[in-house]
Amino acid sequence: MKISAILLAAGQGTRMKSSLPKVLHPVAGKPMIWHALRAVATSTTEKPVVVIGHGADEVKGYLGESAQTVRQEPQLGTGHAVMAAENLLRGRSDLVVVCYADMPLLRGETLQKLVETQKQNKGPMSLLTVVADDPRGFGRIVRGRDGTVSAIVEEYVATPEQLQIKELNVGGYCFDAKWLWEALKRIPKNPKKGEYYLTDTVELAVKDGLSVHATAMDDLEEIIGVNTRAHLAEVEAAMRRRINEAHMLNGVTMIDPASSYIEADVKIGRDTTIMPNTYLQGKTELGEGNVVGPNTVVRDTKIGNGCKILASVLEGATLENDVDMGPFARLRKGAHLGNHVHMGNFGEVKDSHLAEGVKMGHFSYIGNAKIGANTNIGAGTITCNYDGEKKHNTEIGADVFIGSDTMLVAPLKLGDGSRTGAGAVVTKDVQEDTLVVGMPARAIRKLERKSKKK
Ligand code: UD1
Ligand code: CA
């Protein structure tokens, strides 16, 4: 059986008061529509169709190959929007799931249940409803004396009696495809707004003598649609709880889940502890037994096991195991820290590899560098990697001791076991096991190394 999905995303989203199309506003670091696409993916068999209109180019640009798109121009209501998808789908699917792209909390499992319900239903459509005290401006589900669904009435046209109805239209539907395409043509133009409402298909089915199935949901959070920034914050908080709960069930400790901001794609191994006010963003992956935070931002970074990261900012970096960082350290793109690297306060590393056991305790900048195992970077060391036009590389060997406040003027190589005196300005390569001092630093004597040469 072929099951397609149509996501409606053409509306203006006026109440967001934004130049960004509504469905591109992020929730847990991903555009709202990403969440909607993820939800429909689990219940359908075909590539989804997204109906776009306002901000069409931007939305299409974001979607890329992940969905088919069709433009609805002008936007004459939700029924009219579904009509726009007919050419792409007619004859190509048996069931059609329709939902709105501004409901990022709607779960895939819920849509799966909806589809299962429609498979059993002899009538042409099933829809999701919820019973709630706060009507949120939703359409009301009108049922006949025998309890069957007879209509959906939008709030602004509802009678005082209908306004009291607590069963609401969530905005998730599953249709028999053939019936849908014919029914859409019969939707009457709404006299007040001149629009075509998808919700009027309910009355059409009832007129045809066919039954409409309503599946009541019990999770009230799932139905929150985003129309304003206040709704957006509400959805963000609910999504955060949902994401954090899943991590905790997988063995992650969170001291304060409410202040742990973890984006949708992040992976965390067990026995890792997330301290308060920590942001894990983008394609971040953490292994096991780490302690991250408090007050830490980690973005697009891979972290092994047993690392401790306190009050630091990491972006586009890789950490192997047992790295100890912070407070107030910063890793930028291409920073790669090997096992047991120690990085103390006010250090910055960019596009550099620090091999196992490197120590960099205080106030240093390392950029475009390779540092060998067990080298010690003294306080205030700077790789002077930029001459105003180009970046240059610095290669520091193993077991090197860089004295405090050394300036390493790249391009530069320092051999294994070499040493620089405090305040040295190194402009020329330094041979193995050699001590250099001064400004510019020059060789003064040969050294006896404590650790053996490899
Ligand atoms: C809709 C339902 C209402 C339901 C509520 C749940 C209708 C007529 N009403 O109302 O019963 O309780 O959702 O949130 O369907 N869109 C288009 N093209 C259009 C109009 C809308 O693509 O011409 C899209 C919007 O971008 C949005 C979705 O359809 O993603 C819903 O439209 P919206 O105007 O927000 O409908 P509601 O008034 O919320
Ligand atoms: Ca809405």
User: How do residues 146-193 score in pLDDT, each as one tens digit?
Assistant: 999 999 999 999 999 999 999 999 999 999 999 999 999 999 999 888
- CB pairs under 8 A, 24+ apart, for 262-268? 262/28, 263/28, 263/29, 263/30, 264/28, 264/29, 264/30, 264/34, 264/35, 264/239, 265/29, 265/30
Q: Which residues on adjacent β-strands are paired with residue 158? A: none
Residues 6+ apart with CB under 8 A from 51: 6, 7, 8, 9, 10, 69, 70, 71, 72, 81, 82, 84, 85
Ligand in nearest proximity to the CA of 75: 1
Catalytic residue among 231, 353, 362, 392: 362
Choosing from 100, 166, 204 the residue with most ligand 1 atoms within 8 A of its CB, the one to mutate for a pocket test is 100
What residue has token string 């007919």? 86
pLDDT at residue 26 greater than cutoff 90 = yes
Tokens (6 digits) for 157? 């046209």
User: How do residues 256-270 score in pLDDT, each as one tens digit?
Assistant: 999 999 999 999 999
pLDDT value at residue 451? 74
Ligand in nearest proximity to the CA of 52: 1
Mean pLDDT value across residues 220-237? 95
Q: Please, what is the average pLDDT of the chain?
A: 96
d(CA 339, CA 341): 6
d(CA 340, CA 322): 5
User: For 21, what's the count of Cα atoms within 13 Å in the CB-facing half-sphere?
Assistant: 23
Tokens (6 digits) for 333? 């793109």
Residue spans per domain, the chain: 3-223, 229-446
Taking each continuous run of H as one helix and of E as one strand, the counts in the chain are: 9, 42
Q: Which residues line ligand 1 (CB under 6 A)?
A: 8-11, 51, 72, 75-78, 80-81, 100-102, 138-139, 152, 154, 168-169, 171, 197-199, 225
Crossing angle of the two packed helices 32-41 and 56-63, in degrees rounded to 10: 50
pLDDT value at residue 452? 66
Q: What spacing in Å lies between the alpha carbon of 98 and ligand 1's midpoint?
A: 11
Note the CATH architecture for domain 3-223: Alpha-Beta Complex (3.90)
Q: In the CATH scheme, what is the code of domain 229-446?
A: 2.160.10.10
Q: What amino acid occupies position 17?
A: K
Q: What amino acid occupies position 389?
A: E
Please, are residues 356 and 372 in contact by the beta-carbon 8 Å criterion?
no
Tokens (6 digits) for 362? 């205080």
Residue 35 annotated as catalytic: no
What residue has token string 């294994």? 416
d(CA 326, CA 407): 22
Indicate the SS3 state at residue 22. Answer: helix
User: How do residues 291-313 score in pLDDT, each as one tens digit?
Assistant: 999 999 999 999 999 999 999 99
Beta strands in 132-263 (DSSP E): 140-143, 149-153, 167-176, 212-217, 253-254, 260-262
Q: What spacing in Å lies between the alpha carbon of 78 and ligand 1's midpoint?
A: 6
